[in-house]
């Protein structure tokens, strides 16, 4: 039985002009994950990343620590980069609902000046997700909810039916992608997507058991665990547990 590990990227640069870069803490989170795996003798058969910088940076930091080497000594030639594991365009989804939030500086100002700003922003973002998922405004988005969900499933299916058998497949991706895949595996309704997405911790791991297809039977997936961030909890440092 193969295992698929879905890793959410480390903390990115929320509120900056370029979100798609790990913060210093984000890199530390990925390194802690790699050391956690090393302590448990995890053998990685295949490394897959989305195409975003934060995916690749998280992969490099985690896998280097897993092997106990510097990042510049990594052999990444066999890694796979699949853009279908990319996140949905969260900036576009938010800005279509609140046009002022097209400017990241305005988002930062809102968070800093609004009472209970984090919760208020989360409520607004949930509304933006609901608008996107409704299908009523599909013409306004570069990628619809239905298209995003299907591309995530298609990317997962490619790994399930990959010609090279692998025991442990590690995929570095984003929270929305992981949430869409979990919805596919567990069959929960669209309304729960946003709730799960908000709960996923940076560098947390979701693990799927994969029973490959055999004797005419299709491949079977089962959720082993969801949003595991034990590698951060053991530090007993609350600041290391982040969600952006």
Domains and CATH numbers, the chain: 2-88+144-240 (3.40.50.1240), 89-142 (no CATH)
Beta strands in the chain (DSSP E): 2-8, 46-49, 80-81, 168-173, 205-211, 220-228
Consecutive H or E run containing 146: helix 145-160
- Mean of pLDDT values over 23-27: 97
For the ranges 101-105, 146-150, 181-185, 226-230, which has the lowest average pLDDT?
Answer: 101-105
Tally of CB atoms within 10 A around 125: 20
Instruction: Report pLDDT digits (tens) over 66-113.
Output: 999 999 999 999 999 999 999 999 999 999 999 999 998 899 899 999
**Is the per-residue pLDDT at 20 higher than 70?**
yes
- Mean of pLDDT values over 113-128: 94
The answer to whether 200 touches 182, Cβ cutoff 8 Å, is no
- Angle formed by the axes of helices 90-97 and 117-133, nearest 10°: 90
**Is the per-residue pLDDT at 163 higher than 90?**
no
- pTM score > 0.85 for this model? yes
Strand partners, 7: 172, 205
Helices first, then strands: H and E counts in the chain:
9, 6
Planar angle of CA 200, 203, 209, nearest 5 degrees = 75
- Cβ burial, residue 90 (10 Å; 0-12/13-18/19+): middle
User: pLDDT band at 203, cuts 50/70/90?
Assistant: very high
- Mean of pLDDT values over 202-229: 91
The answer to whether 19 touches 174, Cβ cutoff 8 Å, is no
**Is the per-residue pLDDT at 212 higher than 80?**
no
Answer with the residue of higher pLDDT: 144 or 18.
Answer: 144
**Is the per-residue pLDDT at 41 higher than 80?**
yes
Mean per-residue pLDDT over the chain, rounded: 94
């Amino acid at each position: 039985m193969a295992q698929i590990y879905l890793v959410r990227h480390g903390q990115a640069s929320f509120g900056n002009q370029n979100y798609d870069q790990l913060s210093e803490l984000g890199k530390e989170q990925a390194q802690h994950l790699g050391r956690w795996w090393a302590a448990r003798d995890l053998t990685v058969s295949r490394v897959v990343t989305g195409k975003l910088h934060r995916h690749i940076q998280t992969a490099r930091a985690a896998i280097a620590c897993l092997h106990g080497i510097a990042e510049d000594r990594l052999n990444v030639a066999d890694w796979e980069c699949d853009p279908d594991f990319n996140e949905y365009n969260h900036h576009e989804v938010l800005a279509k609902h609140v046009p002022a939030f097209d400017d990241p500086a305005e988002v930062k100002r809102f968070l800093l000046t609004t009472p209970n700003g984090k919760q208020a922003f989360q409520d607004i973002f949930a509304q933006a997700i609901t608008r996107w998922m409704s299908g009523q405004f599909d013409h306004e988005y570069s990628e619809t909810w239905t298209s995003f969900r299907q591309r995530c499933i298609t990317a997962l299916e490619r790994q399930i039916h990959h010609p090279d058998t692998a025991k442990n497949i590690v995929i570095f991706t984003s929270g929305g992608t992981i949430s869409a895949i979990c919805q596919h595996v567990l069959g929960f309704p669209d309304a729960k997507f946003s709730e799960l997405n908000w709960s996923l911790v940076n560098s947390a791991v979701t693990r799927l058991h994969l029973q490959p297809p055999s004797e005419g039977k299709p491949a079977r997936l089962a959720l082993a665990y969801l949003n595991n961030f034990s590698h951060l909890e053991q530090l007993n440092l609350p600041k290391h547990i982040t969600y952006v």
